[in-house]
């Protein structure tokens, strides 16, 4: 079952060895409307925690010149907030662990300064001056100001099942775990970006919320998701539908599983599961990524015993970020990790019968969250 809500998988996971060499993050993305013009604007807010057992009064950075040469492991809460579009930016605010309160069970709570993340509430602010951004490259961010006060209502989940179950988590079998408690999420409230106010409404937020945790990142790194979907067969907006694709090259223990994706389509109440870890589905996946001067493009084809889905997505580079993270070991492995929220695409959903594939629907998607990156591309 895809739509199986489980907030225990959304809890803080950095216990045991992961407390000294692990990361955990809660990601939120949504569309807001300019309070004056009504124009859409996509935003994201993330609470990222790293190596809590190594922390103290001040955040510890791995990307200083000394930190890189000494192999320093970072330790902090990073509140990442920003937007996509031609004025795209990512802003980072860091807290030492002495200033962070975390409820380690479910439902989760992360609280530091005026920044708060829970299952139902997001509040906070990030302000980075141009001077600080330029003089602190270890912050890995742009300059600007963003504040938010939001209610969160997670409507449809993507529960990946066994891969994030407690026995597998406790054994630290995978290097990177994923759970989308709200692959379709409704947000409501206000955002202020560089002095301009935006309104967030449930009906127009087209929101998403998930989390990742582990000891390392995947490469390649793939993510595609949207619940802003319109049937090209009926012409109607699909109000109770969402798709979500993620993964790339997961590692189980030390063994990499090359080019594997976790995928799901929740289509007006019907579930389509393309999760490679569900062996009984015999999932087959093909994916590719292309980049030209103006845009990036994804092609994904997934098939199981009962259905198939072909997904074509593109996003303009001018609307995207090269998003920044450092790994728990202090390295910055992803230096060209494309990240966007303005993707558009076509999804072809098929059912299987005795004679082959039958088209269920052809779907136009916009406001697609999208990512792609590989180690060793475009940096140190």
d(C-alpha 214, C-alpha 25), whole Å = 10
Band (pLDDT 50/70/90 cuts) for residue 379 is very low
- Beta partners for residue 76, in sequence order: 50
Residue 170 pLDDT > 70: no
Which of 239, 240, 237, 257 has the alpha carbon at shortest distance from 248?
257
* More reliable by pLDDT, 259 or 95: 95
So what's the pLDDT on residue 247?
87
Which one is predicted more confidently, 257 or 95?
Answer: 95
CA 277-300-307 angle, to 5 degrees, is: 60
What's the fold here for domain 7-373? Answer: AttH-like fold (2.40.370)
Residue 375 has what pLDDT? 83
Q: Is 24 helix (H, G, I), strand (E, B) or coil?
A: strand
Q: In the structure encoding, which two tokens stand for residue 106, read together?
A: 């479910």
Using the predicted structure, report yes or no on whether residue 165 has a pLDDT greater than 60: no
Query: According to the model, what pLDDT value does residue 380 have?
Result: 32
Q: Is it the case that residue 296 has pLDDT exceeding 70?
A: yes
Segment 202-217 mean pLDDT: 96
Helices (H), the chain: 65-70, 130-135, 166-170, 202-205
For 70, the 3-state DSSP assignment is: helix
The answer, yes or no, to whether residue 141 has pLDDT greater than 60, is yes
The answer on pLDDT for 324 being more than 50 is yes
Q: Which of 227, 367, 370 is nearest to 289 (CA)?
A: 370
pLDDT band at 171 (very low <50, low <70, confident <90, very high): very low
In tens, the pLDDT along 70-105 reads: 889 999 999 999 999 999 999 999 999 999 999 989
Could you tell me the residue ranges of all domains in the chain? Answer: 7-373
Helix (H, G, I), strand (E, B) or coil at 229: strand
């Amino acid at each position: 079952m895809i739509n199986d809500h489980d907030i225990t998988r959304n809890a803080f996971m950095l216990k045991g060895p992961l407390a000294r060499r692990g990361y955990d993050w809660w990601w939120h993305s949504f569309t807001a409307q300019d309070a004056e013009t009504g124009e859409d604007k996509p935003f994201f807010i993330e609470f990222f925690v790293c190596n809590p057992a190594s922390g103290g009064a001040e955040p510890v950075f791995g990307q200083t010149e000394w930190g890189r040469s000494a192999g320093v492991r970072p330790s902090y809460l990073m509140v990442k907030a920003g937007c996509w579009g031609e004025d795209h930016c990512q802003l980072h605010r860091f807290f030492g662990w002495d200033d962070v309160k975390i409820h380690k069970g479910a439902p989760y709570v992360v609280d530091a300064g005026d920044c708060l993340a829970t299952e139902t509430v997001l509040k906070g602010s990030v302000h980075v001056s141009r001077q600080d951004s330029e003089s602190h490259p270890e912050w890995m961010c742009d300059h600007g100001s963003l504040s938010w006060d939001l209610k969160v209502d997670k409507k449809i989940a993507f529960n990946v099942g066994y891969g994030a179950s407690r026995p597998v988590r406790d054994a630290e079998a995978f290097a990177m775990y994923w759970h989308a408690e709200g692959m379709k999420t409704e947000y409501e409230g206000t955002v202020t970006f560089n002095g301009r106010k935006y309104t967030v409404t449930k009906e127009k937020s087209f929101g998403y919320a998930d989390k990742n945790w582990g000891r390392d990142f995947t490469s390649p790194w793939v993510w595609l998701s949207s619940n802003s979907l319109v049937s090209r067969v009926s012409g109607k907006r699909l109000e109770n539908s969402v798709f979500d694709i993620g993964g790339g090259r997961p590692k189980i223990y030390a063994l990499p599983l090359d080019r594997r994706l976790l995928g799901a389509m929740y289509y007006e109440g019907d579930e389509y599961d393309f999760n490679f870890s569900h062996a009984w589905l015999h999932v087959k996946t093909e994916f590719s990524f292309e980049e030209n001067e103006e845009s990036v493009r994804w092609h994904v084809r997934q098939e199981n015993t009962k259905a198939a889905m072909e997904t074509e997505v593109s996003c303009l580079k001018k609307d995207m970020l090269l998003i920044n993270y450092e790994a728990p070991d202090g390295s910055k492995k992803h230096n060209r990790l494309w990240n966007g929220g303005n993707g558009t695409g076509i999804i072809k959903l098929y059912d299987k019968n005795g004679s082959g594939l039958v088209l269920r629907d052809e779907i136009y998607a916009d406001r697609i969250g999208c990512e792609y990156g590989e180690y060793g591309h475009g940096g140190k």
